[in-house]
Amino acid sequence: MSNFNMNKYPHRRYNPLTGEWLLVSPHRSLRPWNGKEEEPQKVNNKDYDEGCYLCPDNIRVNGVHNPKYDNCYVFTNDFSALLPDVDISLTIESDDLFKAEPVKGECRVICFSPNHSKTISLMSTREIGRVIDTWQEQYNELKQYKYVQIFENKGAIQGCSNPHPHGQVWAGNFIPEEIGKEIKQQKAYYEKHGTTLLGDYVKRELALNERVVCETKHWVVIVPFWAFWPYETILLPKMQVSRFNELTAEQKEDLAVILKMITVKYDNLFNCLFPYSMGWHSALNDDNDYKYWTLHAHFYPPLLRSQSVKKFVAGYELLAEKQRDITPEDAANRLKQLSVEHYSVKEGA
**Catalytic sites, residue numbers:** 166
Backbone phi and psi for residue 126, each to the nearest 5 degrees, phi listed first: -65, -40
Query: 183, 73 in Cβ contact below 8 A?
Result: no
Dist. CA 230–CA 330, nearest whole Å:
10
* Contacts of the segment 14-18: beta carbons below 8 A, 24+ positions apart: 14/226, 15/224, 15/226, 16/185, 16/189, 16/197, 16/201, 16/226, 17/181, 17/182, 17/185, 17/186, 17/197, 17/198, 17/226, 18/178, 18/181, 18/182, 18/185
Dist. CA 107–CA 81, nearest whole Å:
7
Query: 296, 236 in Cβ contact below 8 A?
Result: yes
Query: 251, 242 in Cβ contact below 8 A?
Result: no
3-state secondary structure 248-314: CHHHHHHHHHHHHHHHHHHHHHHCCCCCEEEEEECCCCCCCCCCCCCCEEEEECCECCCCCCECCCC
Dist. CA 216–CA 200, nearest whole Å:
18
Q: Is 159 left (phi over 0), alpha (psi -120 to 50) or beta?
A: left
User: 343: which residues sit within 8 A by CB, 6+ positions away?
Assistant: 267, 268, 271
Count of CB atoms situated within 10 Å of the CB of 59 = 10
Query: 82, 60 in Cβ contact below 8 A?
Result: no
